Structure formats: C-alpha cells, structure tokens
C-alpha cells in the first residue's frame, strides 16, 4: 500500500507529522512518502493521501485565488477517480490567521471531500459527524502521538541555574506562540491572581509582540527598558523567536506550572507534551482540549468564567489543591501502539 503525506518534513518542524510517519511505517506492507510537491503533481498512484492543515497545501499562503481553489477541487476529484482514499486530519476548524472566503473554502473542501475525517478527540468527532451527516465521510479517532524528540531527563536544579533562575522560584511557562494580545491579557490575569511566592512567568514565544529589529535605535532602547521594567517589577519574562526542542526542553523541565494561551481553538499538543514532563497545566475548557486535560488529570477552566474564578479565589484554591495533591500526569500517557491501531483502521 502506497501512502502519501502531503507534507515536506523539515528540521525546524513540530514533530507531529514526523511521529505519524514513523508510526505508520510499522504497518506491514505500507510504503510511506512525504512530499507536498508529490501531492500536487503525483508521479505514481497512491492508495491513500493524508492531509493535515489545508492551508499548508498552499504553503500557509494568505491570499488564495479562485483559480487555486478550483485547482484543489479538481485534484481531489482526480484522486477520487483513481480510488485513492483521501484522509484529512482535523487540527483546526479554520486558519488561525488572516481568514478569508477562499482560505475558509479550502478547509471546507478538504473536510467535506475526504473519505475519512480523522479527529484528535471525541468532541470534534461528535460535532462533525452530526454536521456532515449528509456527506459520505467516515469519522475516525486519531490521537496526537506522544512526543519523542525532547529531552525528558534534564536535571531541574542544574537547568534552572543555567537559565538564571533560583531553586525557590515558582516557574510558570506559556508554551507555544502567543498569537494575540488578548491571549497575553488572559494569561497575565491568571498569573496575577495566583498568590504564590517567588512566582515568575515565562512566555517562551511571544510572537504577537513586534520587537524592534534595529538594535540601539531609540525605539529598540525604549522597548528594552520597558522589557526590563516588566521583568523586575511584574516578574514576566519574554522570548520572541522559535525555540527548538532542545531549548524548549529546558523550560519545560524547570516549570512548576504551565498555562495554555489558547482560548479559541480545537486542539493543543501542549497538553500531551506538558503531561509527559509531569507538569501541572491550566488549560481552556474548549474543544478536544478539555477532553485531554481531564484525561491527564489537569485543570480545565472555561475562559468565559476566568474573571469570576479569579474574583471568588476558586482558581487559586484549585491550583494550590492540585499542587498539594502532587498527582502524576504522565502515567496517563498512551503508547505508539494506540496510534498504530487507529492508523491501521483508518488506512484499511
């Protein structure tokens, strides 16, 4: 069986697709190819193609023309005529940035014209099974694989010292790129409400902040002065660039608490990653994320109720209760055999 992942693997990638490919290769008599170019211009017939993010098919391009939309429709139609099974994994309902009529269309096309729509949790499976009940689309579960290429064995104290933090510091990290100011406002509100000594907040990728590029310019010096003020008096630290797994491993190692910045998305691999480090996580009670937070014995809060939870002190009390309980989160992590079984069912 020939299977094509419509994706180009690169060194700086999130390891999600690489892990899926790695697990797929354990299936007997399955030949895997990963190539976006091969998706658009196939040189052989494939028994199945796997699409992850529909906007990736256009290299995350923001302005998609009518002609490009038609080209995608025609290509998927050709795949169907050749009896190629089209599998789309539903990561996001629509693009995170710069939504437009045509960008939304390519999501709808990939979701509604596939043979199998794979879901990372029960929430989206139930939602889309009902929404697409008139379409000939099978709905299957395909969980997020556990992460493999992070360093899970770093020494906490040594790593804190190397990063300039003290053993007594209570480190809270925000993983993933913060995309909007309202996400930072939400995190800062939670951070401020936690009455914990020596607390420090680290944004590992504050991509929503426009950091001046020209060093020593007046704008840059003003920015750095403000950054230092916030670090000293508000105990907030900001990183701006993409961090590879080696560096991110260090921050995950020293964390006492993780707060997820997303309040309007369907899925987050950081629930699994943080749990693999056995860290306590506060995440939003939305989409499939809520399901995974519950599965890993983490804290799930409705973003709409955060002000009320802060005002009545229930969020702080919940966090302190979880810290005192000191339960294991990583014990709930599933192995590759679970994903393998799901992939076998999807490809059969």
Report DSSP letters for 133-187, one per residue: TTS--EEEE-PPPPP-SS-----HHHHHHHHT--TT-EEEEE-S---SHHHHHHH
What is the rounded average pLDDT for all residues in the chain?
A: 95
DSSP per-residue codes, 15-71: THHHHHHHHHTTSTT-EEEE-HHHHHS-SS--SEEEE--GGGGGTT-S---HHHHHH
Contact status, residue 308 vs residue 290, Cβ threshold 8 Å: no
Summarize the confidence of residues 273-296 as an average pLDDT.
97
pLDDT tens-digit map of 14-72:
899 999 999 999 999 999 999 999 999 999 999 999 999 999 999 998 899 999 999 99
For the cut 90, the answer to whether the pLDDT of residue 215 exceeds it is no
- How far apart are alpha carbons 300 and 284 in whole angstroms? 5
Instruction: Classify strands 138-141 and 280-284 as parallel, antiparallel or unpaired.
Output: unpaired
The tally of CA atoms less than 13 A away on the side-chain side of residue 139 is: 19
Return the domain boundaries, the chain.
2-146+335-347, 156-332
- How far apart are alpha carbons 118 and 194 in whole angstroms? 38
May I ask the CATH class of domain 2-146+335-347? Answer: alpha beta
**Per-residue confidence band for 214, with pLDDT thresholds at 50, 70 and 90:** confident
Any idea which fold 156-332 has? Rossmann fold (3.40.50)
Residues 6+ apart with CB under 8 A from 132: 111, 112, 117, 139
The conformation of residue 253, written as its DSSP 8-state character, comes to H
Residues 6+ apart with CB under 8 A from 50: 3, 4, 5, 6, 20, 87, 88, 89
Question: Are both 2-146+335-347 and 156-332 of the same fold?
Answer: yes
Residue 276: strand, helix, or coil: helix
For the cut 90, the answer to whether the pLDDT of residue 98 exceeds it is no
Dig out the tokens for 100 from the structure: 């437009």
Query: In degrees rounded to 5, what are phi and psi of residue 195?
Result: -90, 75
pLDDT tens-digit map of 297-313:
999 999 999 999 999 99
Contact status, residue 53 vs residue 110, Cβ threshold 8 Å: no
Dig out the tokens for 263 from the structure: 């309040």
pLDDT for res 52: 96
Dig out the tokens for 337 from the structure: 């055999």
- How far apart are alpha carbons 282 and 276 in whole angstroms? 15
**Per-residue confidence band for 292, with pLDDT thresholds at 50, 70 and 90:** very high
């Amino acid at each position: 069986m020939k299977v094509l992942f419509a994706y180009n693997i690169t060194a700086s990638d999130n390891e999600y697709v690489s892990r899926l490919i790695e697990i797929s290769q354990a299936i007997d008599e399955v030949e895997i190819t990963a190539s976006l170019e091969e998706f658009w211009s196939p040189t052989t017939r494939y028994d199945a193609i796997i699409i992850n993010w529909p906007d990736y098919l256009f290299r995350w391009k923001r302005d998609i023309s009518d002609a490009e939309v038609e080209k995608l429709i025609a290509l998927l139609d050709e795949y169907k005529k050749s009896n190629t099974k089209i599998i789309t994994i539903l990561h996001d309902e629509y693009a995170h940035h710069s939504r437009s009529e045509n960008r939304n269309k390519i999501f709808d096309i990939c979701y509604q014209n596939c043979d199998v729509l794979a879901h990372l949790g029960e929430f989206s499976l139930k939602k889309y099974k009902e929404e697409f009940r008139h379409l000939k689309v099978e709905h299957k579960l395909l969980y997020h694989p556990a992460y493999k290429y992070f360093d899970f064995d770093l020494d906490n104290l040594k790593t804190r010292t190397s990063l300039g933090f003290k053993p007594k510091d209570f480190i809270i990290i925000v993983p993933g790129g913060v995309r909007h100011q309202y996400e930072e406002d939400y995190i800062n509100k939670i951070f401020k409400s936690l009455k914990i000594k020596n607390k420090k907040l680290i944004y590992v990728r504050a991509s929503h902040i426009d950091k001046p590029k020209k060093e020593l310019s007046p704008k840059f010096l003003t920015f750095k002065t403000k950054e230092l003020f916030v670090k000293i008096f508000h105990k907030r630290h900001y990183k701006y660039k993409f961090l590879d797994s080696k560096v991110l491993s260090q921050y995950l190692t020293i964390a006492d608490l993780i707060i997820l910045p997303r309040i309007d998305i369907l899925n987050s691999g950081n629930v699994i990653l943080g749990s693999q480090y056995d860290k306590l996580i506060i995440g939003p009670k939305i989409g499939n994320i809520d399901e995974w937070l519950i599965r890993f014995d983490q804290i799930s809060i409705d973003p709409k109720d955060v002000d009320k939870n802060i005002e009545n002190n229930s969020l702080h009390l919940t966090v302190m209760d979880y810290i005192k309980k000191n339960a294991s989160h990583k014990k709930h992590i599933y192995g590759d055999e679970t994903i393998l079984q799901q992939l076998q069912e999807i490809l059969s």
